[in-house]
Amino acid sequence: MTLTLGIETSCDETSVALVDHHGILANLVHSQVDVHAEFGGVVPELAARDHLERLPRLVDLALERAQVGRDQVDLIAVTRGPGLAGCLLVGTGVAEGLSAAWSVPLTGVNHLWGHIYAAFLARPDLEPPLLALVVSGAHSDLVRMPEHGRFEVIGRTRDDAAGEAFDKAARMLGLGFPGGPALDRLARTGDPRRQALPKPSLPGLEYSFSGLKTALLYRVNELGDDAGGQVRADLAAAFEASVVESLLAKLDVALEETGYREVVVCGGVAANTLLRRRAAEVVADRARLTIPPLELCTDNAAMIAAAALHGAHHPATVDPSLGWEA
Ligand code: KG4
Ligand code: ZN
């Protein structure tokens, strides 16, 4: 029974979790939305400072919530990258300190592989080989995972990530920060056909969202004052449909190519309502689809601890200067 303390500080969520082979004992997430809202995006310097203020207290709270003592912790797992350098430094620094003070081994986890491991928390009987669509604020990757700890990126974006595209589109439509969830809500009241936008299509398994983003910008400028309430909802729905269908078209090809029977859709964008519904339709009965619950799609430390528990970690001690590795 390896009780693992997970720490996640790669972007704008401070999170501490305790996970063992039975599942999640505690998973506390502090969102910095209030810190960054007035700037319309994440300010790295403020994010790092806030992590530093919150993290030590969050560790105590997580132990309390899980009702375990620090002497019971067997392993500490921390996100080593990818992410904002200053933010990662806070997480790895605190993790190194705890590791030394408690004499507990420390391991660094790749954030993206962490997102995939959220699916193992959602479905404990899940086993590789699996095909994963990892869609976050900075990545849109199709990943083949033949076994635990092995990841092969078979498709990725040429330019913007899906989450980044949603955030920028939301800004164009005058929605606040964070943009993705706001766009999702607005799109629910729109019709994707009334202001249809092109669906990006590159050969192979590559994604590109920058052309679609430009198309939306032109449309918004053209419409000018006519882009009122319902039109903006229609635009949000059209943009969302183009991103989602593009993501799933490549997932469909990859599924045919690999013939895998397990599919995972994960990362912050996997919280999107349309993506969740359409992924189930596209995968259909060709494979079993696992999409983690919303709170495990967006950044959290339970997924980082789960990755370490399953052995998808780097055995060396953490060196944040190394950035991230596949
Ligand atoms: O994985 P995540 O929490 O952080 C990163 O690792 O980047 O992903 C955050 C991204 C943001 O771009 C956010 O706008 C997007 O996920 N997101 C959504 C939704 N919820 C979060 N995008 C579309 N619809 C949502 N419901
Ligand atoms: Zn993430």
Whole-angstrom distance, CA of residue 95 vs CA of residue 76: 7
Q: At residue 11, what is the residue type? A: C
pLDDT greater than 80 at residue 321: no
Q: How confident is the model at residue 313 (pLDDT cuts 50, 70, 90)?
A: low
Residue 184, φ and ψ in degrees, nearest 5 = -55, -50
Q: Give percent of the chain above pLDDT 90.
A: 90
Residue 5: which H helix or E strand, with range?
Answer: strand 4-8
Please give the pLDDT value at position 201. 84
Of 11, 42, 136, which is best to mutate to test ligand 1, by the most ligand atoms within 8 angstroms of its C-beta? 136
CA of 180 to the centre of ligand 1 (A): 6
Structure tokens at 173: 């439509």
**Considering only CA atoms, which of 148, 115, 138 is closest in space to residue 300?**
115
The distance of Cα 204 from the centroid of its chain, to the nearest Å, equals: 23
DSSP string covering 77-116: EEEEESS-HHHHHHHHHHHHHHHHHHT--EEEEEHHHHHH
SS3 of residue 137 by DSSP: coil
Of 9, 36, 166, which is best to mutate to test ligand 1, by the most ligand atoms within 8 angstroms of its C-beta? 166
Q: What is the pLDDT of residues 43-91, one digit of tens each?
A: 999 999 999 999 999 999 999 999 999 999 999 999 999 999 999 999 9
Whole-angstrom distance, CA of residue 112 vs CA of residue 140: 10
Residue with tokens 């974006």: 157
**Considering only CA atoms, which of 63, 82, 58 is closest in space to residue 134?**
82
CA of 262 to the centre of ligand 2 (A): 21
Q: What is the pLDDT of residues 146-189, one digit of tens each?
A: 999 889 999 999 999 999 999 999 999 999 888 999 999 999 99
Q: Rounded to 5 degrees, what angle do the CA atoms 216, 294, 271 make?
A: 15
Looking at the CA of residue 138, tell me the nearest atom of ligand 1.
7
**Considering only CA atoms, which of 151, 135, 159, 173 is closest in space to residue 250?**
135
- Computed on alpha carbons and rounded to an integer, the radius of gyration of the chain in Å comes to 20
Q: In this structure, which ligand is nearest to the CA of 304?
A: 2
Q: What is the pLDDT of residues 184-194, one digit of tens each?
A: 999 999 999 99
